[in-house]
Structures are given as structure tokens and as C-alpha cells.
Amino acid sequence: MRIFLRSLLVITLLFLQISSVTAKESNIEHVDSNELFEEVVLSTPQEELAEADNKNNVQAVSAQEYTIGEPSLRDKLKNVYNLEVDAYDRPEYLFREVLTHNCKEESKMDNWHVWGAYNAYTSMNLSSDGGVQGEYVSNALNLGFDGFLKNNNGDFRVMVGFPINSRRNYVQTLFSDVYIASNKIPHHRIQIGHFRPQIGMEGGSSAYTLAFLGRSQIARNFGTARRLGARIKGDYSYLDYDFGVYSSDIFFQEFFPGAEFVGWMNVKPFAKKKDKYGNLKIGGGIDGGHRDDNFFVTGAYIGYEYKKFSAEFEWAHASGYNGYYGHSRKHASGFYTTIGYMLTKKLQILACYDQFDPDRNIAGNNKREYTLGLNYFIKGQALRVILNYAFCQNDNAKDSHRIMLGTQILI
């Protein structure tokens, strides 16, 4: 009888305990079924100690992440090693994450970034009479400081350059890009300072996104020189434009020798159907002003990209010009056409035909360049190896061949 009563008492206590647990669970709004039916496994004392240590470590790491708010330096360097870049139409920086400082919440600045860039090559020049000459050329060696306001309201840049092969003095070549910009107007960017105007598509492009080691002949004669001025850039789905007013001085040689207007516009008819039809861009523009004398340049451009294939054609005509090598009263013209193909995600092959007439009033002085190129994008434009071969054919000078091996590093 006692055994029966004890058994009944034990069963009753178990029933009350189960009812209590069920009542507690009924007050829970939502509980995962895996939690409700999770198997109970007894742990040994050693396993319990190990689990406690693991929880403490996780809590310590979580507290550290909450305090720091960003990846550690070791993680950032690991990200540099694992960096993969698929776009080659804009500069990327290897150590952007490492060299970027994120500002406090109450600051008007969002972040600032310090960077450096190097683009140079060695070449072997072979003339038609058998002469051989080696050369080292530094296209660009820059240090930059970029700052960005919150909500992408604006930004600024201070970039200094250290050209090795330059006929100008140190002060004239020290400051490259120095500007402030506002992005508050939708689809627009207003920029004031010292920078490169959009004189032609290639003439207004960054040195760190060029397909070859050198620019085309129309770009290096008519454009690419920076000026003091102000511009407004618009960017819409089917249209983009760039209009600016500048001093016609270049490389800080004169205070204000005259005014210069630069305008360029591109139409993008397949903007919303790029995946189906490819990316087509048709553009044109002018550059006109006064420096010792009036000058005027007109240009036109067609570019097309579809999957791994790309092609572009650009033409320009000048009645006097104000380019990288200075002001000229000569009437000159030229064009280039380039085709490219991505053999792999990192390897690109290119071919270019480039023709230039430096003075249309003189017959038989055309210059033609046939160039083959290979680009190996190790880390996009941030780490790139370039190989170019160029055959230079001149109507009134000796022909020559050039083999160039270059490197680009953006940190």
C-alpha cells in the first residue's frame, strides 16, 4: 500500500511539473519548433568548462567589435589580398580600406582617404637605321588626399604630382588636382578649382584608366593639360554633359592670359538596355578661347562595349589649340580607332590605329602609330601590368618601333 501511495505521489508531482512547464510555454507568442523539441544531452564537466570559455570568448569578441566599430588592421590587409575588381573604367585603390578614416557621427565629414599612384614604363626604341635606345618614362607619380561630406553632398581633393621627365620647373608641376565639388543638385556635379577639362573623351580621361601607356596624338596635343576654372557636369540615363569656363593658362605660367570655354555632350541610346544591345555612346564637343591668339577645337566620339568586346573612334580638328605642349596657331587634325577584347577576366588584348596631321597647311607630314597592347589586371586598375608594341610611321622622318613594359599601382 505504501509503495502504491509513493508511486501515486511521484506521478502526481510529475504531472504538476509538466502542467507548469506547459502553462509557461503557452504564454510565449512564438517559439521555434526546433527549440521546443530540442534533444536534451547531458554534458561532462570538461565539456561544460569548454563551453563556458567559448561563451566568454564570443562575448569578448562581440564587445570588441562593438567598441571598435570597424574591421581590424589584420582583416583590412586580408581584404586587400582577396580584393577582386571587375570594373576597369575607374580607378581602384589597393589600400582604400586601410587608408580611409571614417569620421564621427556629429562631424560634417563622412570620411577622408589618403592615396598614392604610380604609372611608368621602360621602353626600347628601334629606329629604321638600326639604332637602339632605352628609356624610362614616368607617366604619373601622385599623392592625394580626398575628403567626402555626409550624404554625398560634396567632396574635395588635393593631389600633388612629381613628374620625372618634365621640361617645366618644380612649382609648375607640383599641384595637379586641387578642387572642391558639390553634388547637392540631383544628377549634377559642380566643381571649382584646378583640374583636367573634358577636351575630347581621351583628352579628359584619368591617366589611370587609359587603355595604353600613352594617349592618342589628338589627346596629347589638344587636351590633357589642367586649368583653373569651374564646371558643371550632368549625368542622366540617356545623356551626360560637361560645360566649363577656365583660364587659358596651363601649368601656372601666366596669371590670366584669356578665357576658355570647354563643352562636351554624350548621348547613350541603349542606356536602359545595355545587357541586350550593349553600351553605345555618341558624343561631341568644342574647346575655344584666347591665349596670345584665338583657338578653336572641335571633336566627335563613338564608343561601343558589348560583353567582352569594346571599340571606339575619336576625331578632332583644331584651328589653333591650347594643349599640353602649349598654345599653337597651327591648323591640325587627327583621329584614332581602338578595338579591344577581354580574353579572360584579367587579360585584355588591344589594337589601335592613330593618325595625326600636325599642320594642314603643309603636305606630306602625317604621323601614324600602329599599337598592339596587352593589359593584365591583377587587381583591376589598382595593380596592372601593361605591354605595348608601337610602330611609328612618319611621312617626313624616320620610322621607328617601340616596345614598352609598364606598371600601374594605386594604393
Q: Which three cell numbers stand for residue 294?
A: 584665338
**190 DSSP β-pair partners:** 182, 232
Per-residue pLDDT, 35: 31
Domain 91-410 belongs to what topology?
Answer: Porin (2.40.160)
Indicate whether 60 pLDDT > 70.
no
Indicate whether 44 pLDDT > 80.
no
d(CA 176, CA 183): 22
Per-residue pLDDT, 198: 97
Q: Which residue has the higher pLDDT, 286 or 56?
A: 286
Q: Please, are residues 147 and 156 in contact by the beta-carbon 8 Å criterion?
A: yes
Q: From 237, 288, 229, 295, select the one nearest 264 (Cα to Cα).
A: 288
Per-residue pLDDT, 147: 98
d(CA 220, CA 222): 6
pTM for this entry: 0.80
The dihedral formed by the CA atoms of 222, 225, 230 and 231, expressed in degrees to the nearest 10? 50
Indicate whether 33 pLDDT > 50.
no
Per-residue pLDDT, 69: 58
Indicate whether 231 pLDDT > 70.
yes
Q: Which three cell numbers stand for residue 362?
A: 603643309
Name the 3-class secondary structure at 2: helix
Per-residue pLDDT, 25: 40
Q: Please, are residues 198 and 287 in contact by the beta-carbon 8 Å criterion?
A: no
Q: Where are the domains of the chain?
A: 91-410
Sorted by sequence, the CB contacts under 8 Å of residue 221 that are 6+ apart come out as 318, 321, 323, 324, 325, 332, 334, 356, 358
Q: From 152, 145, 142, 56, select the one nearest 99 (Cα to Cα).
A: 145
Indicate whether 15 pLDDT > 60.
no
125-160 burial: b if 16+ Cβ within 10 Å, else e: beeeeeeeeeeebebbebebebbbbeeeebbbbebe
Lowest mean pLDDT among 8-12, 28-32, 128-132, 187-191: 28-32
Q: Please, are residues 223 and 204 in contact by the beta-carbon 8 Å criterion?
A: yes
Sorted by sequence, the CB contacts under 8 Å of residue 176 that are 6+ apart come out as 142, 159, 160, 161, 194, 226
Indicate whether 1 pLDDT > 50.
no
